[in-house]
A and B are shown apart, each in its own frame.
Chain A
Amino acid sequence: MGVGGASPVTEQIAEILDRLPGGASLADTIEFVVAWARANSLWPLVYGTACCAMEMMSAGSSRHDWARFGVEVARATPRQADLIVLAGTIVEKMAQNLVTLYEQMPGPKYVIAMGSCAISGGPFYYDSYSVIKGGDRLVPVDVYIPGCPPRPEALLYGIMELQKKIRTEGRKNPWRVGTLFREPFIDTHSFARSQWEKRNQDETAPTAEQPRPGRLEKTTFPEVAAQKRPRPGLDNAGLLAAIHEAFPDLTAVADTNGDRVLELAVNRDHYLDLAAFLRDDPRLKLDLLLQITAVDWRDRFDLLVQLLSTGHGHKIFLRLAVDRDRPSIASLCPLFLGAEWHEREVFDLFGIQFTGHPDLRRIFLMDNFPGHPLRKDFDDPARVLRRPY
């Protein structure tokens, strides 16, 4: 349903014309012209959240070119747009903004839900704590286009369907279909059925006994041995030896002689000293902080700090046990500026406090989000739909 329906002008003209003999037909004609013009000059809002937005851009660019269908002037402001294509996932934090955008659009306005996420949440329907399960829970949707993401041609088809809908939309009551230019109804089911019956009566038609399709040959693939790749920089024994000079009591978590990255079990007392040593020691020079993340082991948290040396190429991961009841650890921000956002993420999703952090706020979720979703005991039936299998 295009919200807003007919414009007041056509409504007023219709009110006058309806009283005159034959006026209703004239009103229908005016209405048709208005609907025709409206359908062929859709102005979409520049709104895209995820992958579908790329296909929307493709639809607007050289090859597919939606300008051919009158959907040309993509507007960056909702006040000038009359079509919003929900291209991509809608999450809880975005929901309020989407509703505001929709309300700012002048009527008559139309909504196309593009892709699985906008239709139902798609691949994030289960287990996600933030995805809205369908755009139609927020705004009325006119056309749904399935796909993940739908092809640009599918979007063009969806736009054509919307245009068909707009053309038949009547005045006053948006559900009324104009009498004059109603599109003919084609009963494809009865047509197909009659064709099928005709074919069955035909003597020359092929009988039910079809040639059996050849069985698909199952290809078997060879076993391939995994190749050992040389690791850049110092090997794990060399790294450990260099670290032991300054921190003799450090131990590695995982096996240190294999191909795996050296992982050190770190005590919180010398966490910052060790990180500063790893960054500044010329043999190690781990100058790039890959990321800081955490694991919830139900009885404790493990903080994972991943460091990389851009000069030598080797990596070292640090692992710190953090108390689960009162999770708190020193911040790495004085050493790595990039730690700030990573620590905010860990705080947001795990609830670990970082002392000395300059700006510890939630980074992804809304401030009033209850709990920390990546903890294993997080459960919120209002948001999370558990997978039934």
Chain B
Amino acid sequence: MMETQEKISPPGFRTGSRSDASTEEYYLNMGPQHPSTHGVLRCVLKLDGESVVEVVPHLGYIHRGIEKVAENQTYLQLIHLSDRLDYLSSFSNNLCVCLAIEEAMQIGVPERGEYIRVMLCELQRIQSHLLWWGVFGMDLGAVTAFLYGFKEREQITDIFEELCGARLTMNFFRPGGSWADVPDSFLPRVRQVISRMKGALAECHTLLTNNVIFRERTQGIGVLPAATALSHGCTGAVLRGSGVAYDVRRHDPYSIYDRFAFEIPTGARGDCFDRYLMKMEEMRQSLAILEQAAATFPGGPHRAKERAAYKLPPGSYYSQVESARGLFGVTLIADGGPKPYRVKFRSPSFSNLSVVNAIAAGHQIADLVTILASLDFVVPDLDR
């Protein structure tokens, strides 16, 4: 006797049950503690055999309430909170907060300060992409890539360490420049990293890019059409991989990015391999920017005169930068007091991850891991 029982599906699922009853769909929990969700993202999968029918990401396993904490801190203290959002591009986040404050208070930055900002942001972009490259390889089963990525990454971390003592959470930029000047060894070290990285990038391409298994697992997987990417608000390599050449550094230049020549790579198909190539090419372009900046690195003061108090006039202020993951934005709503009335961080990972169901449906579980890795999100940046 058949007993018809209404199956209760977990929250968030939209696909109905199929009429074809030859196989049974089932649910699988993935995360929050899972090696390939890069932290504490939790996905609930609806599976048909091994192929994914629907993915429902659950966020909030590291939601720390940074925006509420920020309402009780001064504007300068926002800088250290922005470190802890996307800790792999903390210089960019610091810069974004400083840009918003500078716009509100009409603070200028001396030439050397701008150069320091651009060079550090680009160094960190390479550093972040190297980590992503290693982890991407590891997610596909190549642990060697992880070790190679970290080996190169430590060279850049050494520069940061010598500069401000921190390896991840920098808290370095201030409105008007940065709190310290770069040490004398900065330029030689940057030049050394540039020459070293060129060889390292070739090595990276040999290890992964031209690997047959790697190509099989990334080409044609997770194809993201440009229209879907735009509609979801994707930015960074995810958007550029789908063929939309939008880069804040080029299309809305901040700091002194308009002085440097660099290309914006775009992909043709929008699959995982294209997103991978975007990041690899971005590293090369960052090296080009670093080379140009190192050639014309000026002297002079590294920051403008400090203000007695950082109080923003009432109003709302917005600034955006291109972080390693995409468009990072800060909205400050000021009421004239020493503390912001409301702070909103626009995190690139949040929008980038929201496409995961649209592009993962129909693929295998192992491909979902590739897709998650190619979206390159940082979970504390998602959850804030």
Q: How many chain B residues touch the partner (CB < 8 A)?
A: 87
Please determine whether A51 and B346 come into contact, CB atoms closer than 8 angstroms: no
Q: For the complex, give the distance between the alpha carbons of A128 and B73 in Å.
A: 12
CA distance A76 to B37 in the complex (A): 12
Q: How many A-B residue pairs have CB under 8 A?
A: 230
B305 touches A221 (CB 8 A): yes
Q: Are B102 and A50 in contact (CB under 8 A)?
A: no
Which residues of the partner chain A approach B14 to less than 8 Å between Cβ atoms?
358-359
Q: Is A155 an interface residue (CB 8 A)?
A: no
When distances are taken between beta carbons in the complex, the residues of chain B under 8 Å from A374 are: 67-68, 342
CB proximity to B under 8 Å, residues A253-312: 254, 259-261, 263, 287-291, 293, 295-296, 304, 306, 308, 310
Inter-subunit contact A51/B329 (CB<8 Å): no
A148 touches B169 (CB 8 A): yes
Q: Which of B147, B167, B351 contacts A62 (CB 8 A)?
A: B147
Q: A63-B151, A306-B346 are in contact. Are A128 and B64 (CB under 8 A)?
A: yes
Given A304-B331, A364-B59, the answer on whether A291 and B69 have CB atoms closer than 8 Å is no
Near B by CB (< 8 A), chain A positions 120-147 give: 123-124, 126-131
Please determine whether A50 and B11 come into contact, CB atoms closer than 8 angstroms: no
Q: Mark contacts of B230-251 with chain A using CB atoms, 8 A cut-off: 1 yes-contact digit, 0 otherwise.
A: 1111110001000010100001
Which of B61, B234, B331 interacts with A91 by CB under 8 Å?
B61
Identify the stretch in A93-101, A169-177, A200-208 within 8 Å (CB) of chain B at 4 or more residues.
A93-101
CB atoms of B383 and A63 under 8 A apart: no
Measured CA separation A221–B179 after assembly (Å): 11
In the complex with contacts A50-B380, A101-B33, A89-B344 CB distance below 8 A: no
Write out the residue numbers on chain B whose beta carbons fall within 8 Å of the beta carbon of A232: 251-252
Contact A293 B169 (CB under 8 A): no
Q: How many residues of A contact B (CB 8 A)?
A: 84
Q: Are A337 and B231 in contact (CB under 8 A)?
A: yes
In angstroms, Cα B12 to Cα A361, docked, is 8
Q: Which residues of A contact B346 (CB under 8 A)?
A: 290-291, 306
Do A288 and B61 have beta carbons less than 8 Å apart?
A: no
Among B79-87, B191-199, B203-211, B275-283, the stretch that binds chain A is B79-87
- Asked whether, in the complex, the Cβ of A365 is within 8 Å of the Cβ of B32, the reply is no
Tell whether B312 is near chain A: CB-to-CB under 8 Å.
no
Of A94, A151, A263, A290, the contact of B233 (CB 8 Å cutoff): A290
A4 at interface, CB cutoff 8 A: no
Q: How far is the CB of B210 from chain A (nearest CB, A)?
A: 22
Nearest CB in chain B: distance from A346 CB, A: 10
Inter-chain CA distance A316–B232, complex, in Å, is 17
Let me know if B214 is at the binding interface, CB within 8 A.
no
User: What is the CA–CA distance of A130 and B68 in the complex, to the nearest angstrom?
Assistant: 10
Q: Which residues of A lie under 8 Å from residue B88 when comparing CB positions?
A: 54
Most B CB atoms within 10 A — which of A93, A129, A296, A317? A93
Which A residues from 100 to 130 make CB contacts under 8 A with B? 101, 123-124, 126-130
Task: Mark out the residues of chain B between 8 and 48 whose CB falls within 8 Å of any chain A CB in the assembled complex.
Answer: 11-12, 14, 32-35, 39-40
1/0 contact string of B106-143 vs chain A (CB within 8 Å): 11111000000000000000000001001000000000
Which of A49, A126, A129, A259 meets B62, CB within 8 Å? A49
Which of B244, B320, B383 contacts A364, CB < 8 Å? B383
* CB of B176 within 8 Å of the partner chain: yes
CB neighbours of A225 from chain B (8 A): 108
Known: A131-B65, A288-B235, A365-B60. A50 touches B39 (CB 8 A): yes
What are 9 of the A-B contact pairs (CB < 8 Å)? Answer: A45-B33, A126-B69, A127-B72, A222-B304, A226-B102, A254-B315, A288-B230, A291-B329, A363-B60
Interfacial residues, chain A to chain B (CB-CB below 8 A): 45-51, 53-55, 57-58, 61-63, 76, 78, 88-89, 91, 93-94, 97, 101, 123-124, 126-131, 148-149, 151, 220-227, 229, 231-232, 254, 259-261, 263, 287-291, 293, 295-296, 304, 306, 308, 310, 313, 315, 317, 336-338, 340-342, 349, 358-359, 361-366, 373-374, 387
> B: which residues have CB within 8 A of A?
11-12, 14, 32-35, 39-40, 59-69, 71-72, 80-81, 84, 87-88, 102-103, 106-110, 131, 134, 146-148, 150-151, 154, 157, 167-169, 176-177, 228, 230-235, 239, 244, 246, 251-254, 301, 303-306, 315-318, 320, 327, 329, 331, 333, 341-342, 344, 346, 350-351, 354, 358, 379-380, 383
